[in-house]
Structure 1
Amino acid sequence: MTDTEVAPITPDKTQDNRRRAWIVTAMLVAFMMVNFADKAILGLAADPIMRDLGMSATQFGVANSAFFLLFSVFGAVGGVLADRVPPRWVLLGMVLLWSVSQAPMALGAGVAMLFASRILLGAAEGPAFPIAQQTALSWFPDHRRNLPSALITVGTTLGIVIAAPALTWVVREHGWRSAFAVVAVAGVLWAAVWALVGREGHHAVASDDAATTGTAAQGPGGISYRRILATRSWLGVTAAYASTYWMIALALVWMPSYLHDGLGFSATTAANLVAVVWAVNAVALLSQAGLTGWLLRRGVSSRWARARVGGITLIVAAAGCLALAGGERGPLTVLFLILGFGICGVMASIAVTTVAELAPAERRGGALGLMNAVVTVAGLVGPTLIGHLVDTQGPAGYDTAIVLSGALLLLGGLAAVTLVDPDRDRRRLAQ
């Protein structure tokens, strides 16, 4: 057998690989659930934390933004590291750090440690989404990546769907510090199982990347990160994803308070609405994965099947935000809320699969990590800005924030529709 030949794969081996692929994917869905439960605690317990620690809305927003202080930097570093170190070990180390970072607040720490723990948590969670996606996608060829990518993204929404009512109950019955203990224990349990079953796949990497990117023709160094990041597709999908991440940060940090203080819902109703919005997001993600996969299998280009499906969705979400901010409070409020917050998350999965299609395997982790580093700047800026708006404008500050969010979603949608064309940019990279 020559070096270029591939060993034959028996039916039993193929079945075993498929089973392993879905086990790993399921574990990574759970990984993202813990990840977003960690992020959600401050938003779900905002009022008691601010009251007990004597924090203003601006200070609370800064505490949430502190999470993103190192998030972007370590997201890029972790993505590049995962191109050199087996991602399963990077994932294991990250989860253990998450649990360590939650411990001080569970044990009675104050404001200073709240800031420090959020910075550490952000650094540890920065690479989580791109490395989880990279690990899962290594088990699937390009035309089958939409579902596992969407499922992992759905893990972020399931984390909120489960955490919102569950952690709200823990906060109400046992105090907000107990919620930090719960997510710390969840992280340790996940790490124990992952140490036994976590693996990377190598499914169709050679055929996908050599055929579609022309990496072999680029010489020993391959295609540089600089060339990938300069493509219109990477720039466009990153801009679109950034607008989505702005909404994710807004939903995680301020949605419970917005529903309670801005729209007048009770704390229990607000928690249930948070769960509903994230549940709709999960349905939207799975629907997008099904539609995109169906289009790709019928020969529709990724420009339409991914970028324009996502871009149009963001434009619809922008309309929902603008209607939510400008309309009278009434029966349509929940509909506009769902349109604004509940469907824009599809761009997260689309962004990942687009970059995975564009970048060769040996640059995929870095390309995804660098994209994540850029888009999460929205999480650094958003919570603090919105906290300032609430302090200076009162409840009207929430409406200003929603209008701003609608404008960002519109720009992101237009960027996806007009700039992203992976087929075009893949051919240019191969030259």
Structure 2
Amino acid sequence: MRWIVLALLFLGMIINFADKSIIGLAAVPIMKEFNLSYSQWGLVGSSYYWLYPVTGIIGAAWADRIGAKKMLGLLMLTWAVLQFGVLGITGFFVLIVYRVLLGAFEGPFSPISYSHAHNWFPPKLRGFANSVVVSGATVGAMVVAPLLVALITILGWRWAFAILGAASLVWFVLIQFTPESPKDAEGKQKTAKKKLEKLNVKAFLTLLSSPSALFTTLAYFSTYIFVVWISVWLPVYLVKVIKMSSVQMGYAVAGIGIVSVGVYIAISIISDRLFKKNQNWRVSRVYVVGFSMMAGALAMISTLVFQNAIWVIVAMCLAKGLTYAILPIGPTIVINLMPDRGSLMTSILTSSGNIAGIIGPMLTGFIIELAGDNTALGFNQSILFMGAIILLFAILFSIYVKPDIKTNPEAN
């Protein structure tokens, strides 16, 4: 059953990130239809994250009370309604409102999924399990790009969005046939629910400000700037700067997604095997992720020097695969700091990181417009900024995060 649950979480993340990324794939026709500038488009990309961090924490905390399965189903049902509602979008303002609401209800899905997978899998498989969940995000954001581009081209962007709403309805039905948790975890889950009302808030906030929690969150934050850039700006970058056609862009985005999945799943497997062998969080989790992120940042920056289309695709494959290592491993680190509140801990991690979703698109649009007619320079400056931020926080993460040393905020 755990593999069935994992498969559903994988499919759920595909839908989640297809919902996010389709706006980028449809950027050119939407900008043309509503006559939007780069700054306005940056606002559209950013609006998705305006409520995302807050609802991510609230929704995940609620999931600790009512159960992850029930909460995930409710979220998916809401997505379906919103995606069908796209058929009624008539202008820039309504587009912004739609993106804000979609982000608000999609915010809790990732942290709850990580926590749900954590409950179903033993420690030696959790890195791999979370990497499968994360790979669903990559498939949804990138691998299915040619299909989404085809739907946009043939049916128009509104009906392409509505089809994703139908997929959400199917997933909602399927999740109803799975149990909430494995039988051997039911006792632990009940205990955790009893402890929810006894949380020592002061000690909890102290835990969140500890080096392990703080620098894991900052590393996640820095990578998420790149996550959002890929979703909102990569298709535009490939068309406007690298001079690809829409079809070539779709296949390039898919190729980057497929290769990067293999890279960060391999990193997660290496991390799991090291942890199984030595039970050392610093070596198996922190160093593996930290060094991967550093290498990924350097690959990203290399595109400023070599802008050949082939190298850009190769570099983006490496950059995405290596920097994304924090996405499956980061949740295992913060959950380890407070195991009884897995959804809450992962929601704080992902929601704090998703603040990058508010800042990143608008900042990129601003940087591009500052470059004037030199669009390529603007995109290159945004890539340099992202690479530098990821490199800095990867170094700090490697130095200061020590998950083996933790404080229990439930204790007085």
Q: 2:268 aligns with which of 258, 278, 289?
A: 289
Q: Is the 8 A contact 1:358 1:425 kept in 2?
A: yes
Partners of 1:168 and 1:253 lie apart in 2 by: 14
- Between 1:154-163 and 1:345-354, the stretch displaced more is 154-163
Q: Which runs of 5+ in 2 are unaligned?
A: none
Q: 1:72 aligns with which of 53, 58, 61?
A: 53
Q: 2:356 aligns with which of 370, 378, 391?
A: 378
Q: What's the counterpart of residue 316 of structure 2?
A: 337
Q: 1:194 corresponds to which letter in structure 2?
A: I
Q: Is the 8 A contact 1:74 1:127 kept in 2?
A: yes
Q: What's the counterpart of residue 368 of structure 1?
A: 346
Q: 2:394 corresponds to which letter in structure 1?
A: G
Q: 2:147 aligns with which of 127, 152, 166?
A: 166
Q: CA deviation at 1:293?
A: 1.3
Q: 2:134 aligns with which of 136, 150, 153?
A: 153
Q: CA deviation at 1:371?
A: 1.4
The structure-2 alpha-carbon separation of the partners of 1:89 and 1:323, relative to structure 1 and needing over 3 Å to count, comes to same
Q: What's the counterpart of residue 354 of structure 1?
A: 333
Q: Is the 8 A contact 1:284 1:343 kept in 2?
A: yes
Q: CA deviation at 1:112?
A: 1.6
Q: 2:125 corresponds to which letter in structure 1?
A: R
Partners of 2:306 and 2:142 lie apart in 1 by: 27
The structure-2 alpha-carbon separation of the partners of 1:428 and 1:86, relative to structure 1 and needing over 3 Å to count, comes to closer
Q: CA deviation at 1:188?
A: 0.9
What's the secondary structure of 2:404's corresponding residue?
helix
The structure-2 alpha-carbon separation of the partners of 1:125 and 1:428, relative to structure 1 and needing over 3 Å to count, comes to closer
- Between 1:102-111 and 1:304-313, the stretch displaced more is 102-111
What's the secondary structure of 2:323's corresponding residue?
coil
Partners of 2:310 and 2:13 lie apart in 1 by: 33
* 1:181-223 per-position Cα deviation (integer Å, ceiling 9, x unaligned): 1111111111111122252336468799x9xxxxx9xx96478
* 1:216-252 per-position Cα deviation (integer Å, ceiling 9, x unaligned): 9xx9647843233122111111111111111110000
5 Å-filtered alignment, 1:204-215, equals none
What's the secondary structure of 1:196's corresponding residue?
coil
Partners of 1:49 and 1:220 lie apart in 2 by: 49
Q: Does 1:407 align with 2:383?
A: no
Return the TM-score normalized by structure 1: 0.88
Q: Which runs of 5+ in 1 are unaligned?
A: 1-19, 211-215
5 Å-filtered alignment, 1:13-28, equals 20-28=1-9
Q: What's the counterpart of residue 178 of structure 1?
A: 159
Partners of 1:329 and 1:374 lie apart in 2 by: 35
What's the secondary structure of 1:298's corresponding residue?
helix
Partners of 1:83 and 1:427 lie apart in 2 by: 18
Q: 1:421 corresponds to which letter in structure 2?
A: K
Counting matched residue pairs gives: 407
Partners of 2:186 and 2:253 lie apart in 1 by: 39
Partners of 1:91 and 1:409 lie apart in 2 by: 31
- Between 1:80-89 and 1:336-345, the stretch displaced more is 336-345
Q: What's the counterpart of residue 142 of structure 1?
A: 123
Q: Does 1:106 align with 2:84?
A: no
Q: 1:368 corresponds to which letter in structure 2?
A: T
Q: What's the counterpart of residue 5 of structure 1?
A: none
- CA radius of gyration, larger in: 1
Partners of 1:347 and 1:426 lie apart in 2 by: 22
Partners of 2:78 and 2:351 lie apart in 1 by: 19
Partners of 2:216 and 2:241 lie apart in 1 by: 32
Q: Does 1:390 align with 2:368?
A: yes
What's the secondary structure of 1:422's corresponding residue?
coil
> Structure 1 stretches (4+) deviating beyond 4 angstroms?
202-208, 219-224, 426-431
Q: CA deviation at 1:421?
A: 1.1
What's the secondary structure of 1:182's corresponding residue?
helix
Q: Is the 8 A contact 1:139 1:203 kept in 2?
A: no
Q: What's the counterpart of residue 118 of structure 1?
A: 99
RMSD: 2.6
- Identical positions, percent: 29
Q: What's the counterpart of residue 240 of structure 1?
A: 219
Partners of 1:198 and 1:105 lie apart in 2 by: 33
What's the secondary structure of 2:406's corresponding residue?
helix
Q: 1:71 corresponds to which letter in structure 2?
A: Y
Q: Is the 8 A contact 2:131 2:268 kept in 1?
A: yes
What's the secondary structure of 1:264's corresponding residue?
coil
Q: 1:274 corresponds to which letter in structure 2?
A: V
Return the TM-score normalized by structure 2: 0.92
Q: 1:354 corresponds to which letter in structure 2?
A: I
Q: Is the 8 A contact 1:34 1:187 kept in 2?
A: yes
* 1:82-133 per-position Cα deviation (integer Å, ceiling 9, x unaligned): 2212121111111111111222323453222111110000000111110011
Q: Does 1:304 align with 2:279?
A: no
Q: 1:275 corresponds to which letter in structure 2?
A: A
Q: 1:40 aligns with which of 8, 11, 21?
A: 21
